[in-house]
Amino acid sequence: MAEKVKNEHYVPQRYLRHFANGENFFVFDKEKTEKRPGNVGDYACERYFYDVDFDALKREKLEQDPDFEFDPEMEQVMQTIDVQHIEHWFGQNVETWLFDPINKIISTYVMANPKNIENMVAMTDDDMNHISLYLAIQMIRSKEFRENIKEMYERLPLLLMKKIAKTDEEREYINSIELEIKNKNHLKLFHAQFLMDEEMVSDIAVRLRSKIWVIGYNKTDIPFITSDNPVVKYGHSGFNGISSKGIEIAFPISPKLILILADIEEFGRLLPFHNHFVEIPSEEVHYYNSLQVIQSYRYVFSKQDEWEFVEKMLKDNPKLKDIKHKRFLMS
């Protein structure tokens, strides 16, 4: 049996080390507006983040209904299931062979003749398929995604109630209601259902694979930074769905490299650069770094201890410090 993991990462340590000096990097805590040195083993993780306590769920159900009888097959599954199945699967797959193509991109860039870099093909088809799956999993394994699930389950009933409300008084009353999932075990179970939905994960990967892929390289003195929610999106047409017109998805893979996926309809001009390296100017480095700050759950990571632009962003927009901000509008 695999060793039980206490600190479960929702962003792999192998990835975070790309932005570290050995095992150490620099951290900016948005919530506390605080910068500090940190160890990759201590961030983008939580104790038993993915573990579902099935015994506790069973006890809770029996407390609610003492006469409830579990299906024998379900009882067997609950007795034999590895509560760290998700964590172990990530360790054996996502952080090994699915991640290897990302390291290959870095090696290709480092070994290339700088004069010929933009003429080189960045990835094989198989590598792009594997990275698509890696990105799909990273998008839904994070703390930020779990917060979206939590808010969806808490606020969706209220949104539906508002739809059928007939008076302003009823709508005002609904706005005053606060629903909350207090049982973390329930939230872990909801999250696990997304993570184990192979069809959904595969569909996301296919949609990502259909984009224009560009590897941006950074020759400026400003490094790309990353965060505890590293796959970021920007909807240039106002919509952030991964299949929306104008969607751009960015994933920094080192202080010098970033993977950019762009909607073909909106960014057709980039087709000649598909699967190639393209130099990113300093203003765009700032743009992609700002997306990491805005869309991170709480922490931003860098190889350099330079945070002036983050401090300015938070000063100009203090709402970015609120990690409990509303993610869905109650219109």
Does the residue 243 lie in any domain? Answer: yes
What confidence score (pLDDT) does residue 331 get?
47
Domain total of the chain: 1
Measured distance CA(226)–CA(214) in Å, rounded: 18
Question: Which string of DSSP letters, residue by residue, matches 106-164?
Answer: HHHHHHS-GGGGGGSB---HHHHHHHHHHHHHHHHHSHHHHHHHHHHHHHHHHHHHHHH
Confidence of residue 157 (pLDDT cuts 50, 70, 90): low
Residue 310 has pLDDT above 90, yes or no: yes
Does the residue 298 lie in any domain? Answer: yes
E-assigned strands of the chain? Answer: 7-9, 24-29, 34-39, 45-47, 212-217, 226-227, 232-235, 247-254, 257-262, 276-279, 299-302
Cβ atoms 233, 247 nearer than 8 A: yes
Residue 253 has pLDDT above 90, yes or no: yes
The parent domain of residue 88 ranges over 7-149+184-318
Does the residue 1 lie in any domain? Answer: no
pLDDT of 23-39, one tens digit each?
999 999 999 999 999 99
Does the residue 205 lie in any domain? Answer: yes
pLDDT of 167-196, one tens digit each?
777 667 556 656 566 778 888 888 998 998
Does the residue 212 lie in any domain? Answer: yes
Does the residue 252 lie in any domain? Answer: yes
pLDDT of 39-70, one tens digit each?
999 999 999 999 988 777 677 766 777 776 66
Lowest average pLDDT, out of 41-45, 282-286, 314-318, 326-330, goes to 326-330
- Mean of pLDDT over the chain: 89
Does the residue 99 lie in any domain? Answer: yes
Residue 330 has pLDDT above 50, yes or no: no
Does the residue 175 lie in any domain? Answer: no
